[in-house]
Amino acid sequence: MGLMESLKAGTKSLDNMEDLFIEKLKMLYDVEDRLVDALPKMADAAADAQLKRAFDEHAEVSRRQKERLAWCFDWLNVEAETSTCEAIKGMISDGEVIMKADGDPDVKDAALIAAAQGVEHYEIAEYGAARTFASRLGLDDIADLLQQTLDEEAQTDHKLTDLAASRVNPSAQV
Ligand SMILES: [Fe+2]
């Protein structure tokens, strides 16, 4: 059982940074795992060709980020397993509602971009915390790896802002 589930069940407490850090990694592993699956569906649902490409590219990036997390587990000698992240589950199910919706394709793309940016911002917050915890634990190599992912998430966020501002929003029905 993951730390978060144990906390919910009242069987564990928050005793040390190492357990907290490992739980964060397991939750991020769950996040990437779900995104590797969700992003190609977002690409299918998107109308704009560049947006489709951006979602497909980020699916590929997420696959590498998941691999990076697997290396972290390896270094720590911890089994690579997921701990359910309720937040990402909720965000993806909101995204699914948008994917299934009818309407103006550009408005739908705008909604998909906003949903994807919500995910990116969440990942930026969580990877930022994980990186800082790694530094606190003296795990500098792992902190560097997490920083690489953090940089990629920020780049994706900027790319989505650019796509929304330059292509999607201007053609959307107001
Ligand atoms: Fe990611």
- How high is the pLDDT of residue 86? 95
Q: What is the DSSP string of the chain?
A: --HHHHHHHTS-----HHHHHHHHHHHHHHHHHHHHHHHHHHHHH--SHHHHHHHHHHHHHHHHHHHHHHHHHHHHT--------HHHHHHHHHHHHHHH--S-HHHHHHHHHHHHHHHHHHHHHHHHHHHHHHHHTT-HHHHHHHHHHHHHHHHHHHHHHHHIIIIIHHHS--
**Tens of pLDDT, residues 139-165:** 999 999 999 999 999 999 999 999 999
68 vs 5 pLDDT, higher one: 68
- Write down the domain spans for the chain: 15-165
Q: How many whole angstroms from 10 Cα to the centroid of ligand 1?
A: 30
Q: How many whole angstroms from 32 Cα to the centroid of ligand 1?
A: 5
pLDDT tops 90 at residue 1: no
Calculate mean pLDDT across residues 76-102. 96
**Tens of pLDDT, residues 27-57:** 999 999 999 999 999 999 999 999 999 999 9
Q: How many whole angstroms from 167 Cα to the centroid of ligand 1?
A: 24
What homologous superfamily is domain 15-165 in, according to CATH? Ferritin, core subunit, four-helix bundle (1.20.1260.10)
- How high is the pLDDT of residue 164? 96
Calculate mean pLDDT across residues 96-100. 97
1 vs 37 pLDDT, higher one: 37
Residues less than 5 Å from ion ligand 1, measured at CB: 62, 65, 123
Q: How many whole angstroms from 41 Cα to the centroid of ligand 1?
A: 16
pTM: 0.95
Q: How many whole angstroms from 106 Cα to the centroid of ligand 1?
A: 25
Question: 108 near 45, Cβ under 8 Å?
Answer: yes
Q: How confident is the model at residue 63 (pLDDT cuts 50, 70, 90)?
A: very high
Q: How many whole angstroms from 9 Cα to the centroid of ligand 1?
A: 29
